[in-house]
Amino acid sequence: MYFRAREVACVLTLLLSASTGAAAPTASTTPTSASWPTDVMARLEATALLQSLNVELLTSDSEQQTLGRWCSSHGLVSNPQISIERVLDAEERPTEAQRKMLATSAKEPIRHRKVQVLCGATVLLEADDWYLPSRVSAQVNALIESTALPFETAQIGHFRRRIVSATILWPQLPELWGLGTEESATESQAMRPPPARVLTHHVLVTLPDGTPFGEAKENYMRSVLAFPCPSLPEIVVIGKRP
């Protein structure tokens, strides 16, 4: 298979800019919502970006700080200030599977809250938290109920996070990728517009002794890709896979 310089250079540029903050687009060229071409190369570019973001989130102690760096380095908004807001009237009842994960009975109360992480006025993350109020003090419960702070912050308690799963929801590389040229992909494999959620993390929150306390579903929105891929020219063939 032949590789064009744009294919290699774009992936390298995406990964480097995501991790170092280089080559951020200016506010004048940054779209207000994700707008990606529908060809196979766009699929590869978007996948590389989401994979790099996913790695940063999985290896960071603070998703807010990671999103702040991402927002700033990619120029998502002109004033990249991170804030966390509580979403009211968004109650969701726990499932039987969640009760099993939290090692609790069907009668024990489980509370729910929804929070959003914003860069400026743009929502980058929506998180649903379920937790067992009986396993912490009244003071900790009051903080959880009255704020949007993450469970693991020092203000709330010494909780621990464990990522149960991390799933990239969009895009999917075509099955023929790697078996031929870019033109091998059929029209049906063209990239569809991004859904509202492009990446999700399933998190188990425990007390310091390992006792389950809560569960979180963290959904990263398509706004994390609200910028164009660095513009790179298509030039000559640079190599051939044996």
Per residue, what are the HEC states of the chain? Answer: CEEEHHHHHHHHHHHHHHHHCCCCCCCCCCCCCCCCCCCHHHHHHHHHHHHHHHHHHHCCCCHHHHHHHHHHHCCCCCCCCEEEEEECCCCCCCCHHHHHHCCCCCCCCCEEEEEEEEECCEEEEEEEEEECHHHCCHHHHHHHHHCCCCCCCCCCCCCEEEEEEEEECCCCCCCCCCCCCHHHCCHHHCCCCCCCEEEEEEEEEECCCCCEEEEEEEEEEHHHHCCCCCCCCCCCEEEECC
Calpha distance 26→15 (Å, rounded): 19
C-alpha span between 179 and 99 (Å, rounded): 45
> How many structural domains compose the chain?
1
The pTM score is 0.77
Identify the band that residue 30 occupies on the pLDDT scale cut at 50, 70 and 90. very low
pLDDT, tens digit (0-9, with 9 covering 90-100), for 45-54: 888 899 999 9
Compute the average pLDDT of residues 98-127. Answer: 95
Per the structure, the complete domain to which residue 80 belongs is given by 2-227
**Residue 154 falls inside a structural domain:** yes
Ranges 15-19, 98-102, 130-134: which has the least confidence? 15-19
Domain membership flag for residue 242: no
Amino acid identity, residue 16?
A: L
Across the range 189-200, mean pLDDT stands at: 80
CATH number for position 209: 3.40.1410.10
Residue 210 inside a domain? The answer is yes
Confidence band (pLDDT; 50, 70, 90) for 3?
Answer: very low
Q: Is 141 inside any structural domain?
A: yes
CA distance 187 to 160: 46
Residue 154: its pLDDT value, please? 62
Q: pLDDT at residue 118 above 90?
A: yes
Q: Is residue 108 part of a domain?
A: yes
How far is Cα 129 from Cα 204, in angstroms, rounded to an integer? 10
For residues 153 and 171, give the distance between their C-alpha atoms in angstroms, rounded to a whole number.
Answer: 33
Cα–Cα dist 33/30, whole Å: 9
pLDDT of residue 123: 96
Quick one: which of 35, 48, 122, 46 has its CA closest to 82?
Answer: 122
Looking at the DSSP bridge assignments, the partners of residue 221 are: 197
End-to-end distance of the chain based on CA atoms, in angstroms? 8
Residue 87 lies in a domain: yes
Q: Residue 88 falls within a domain, yes or no? A: yes
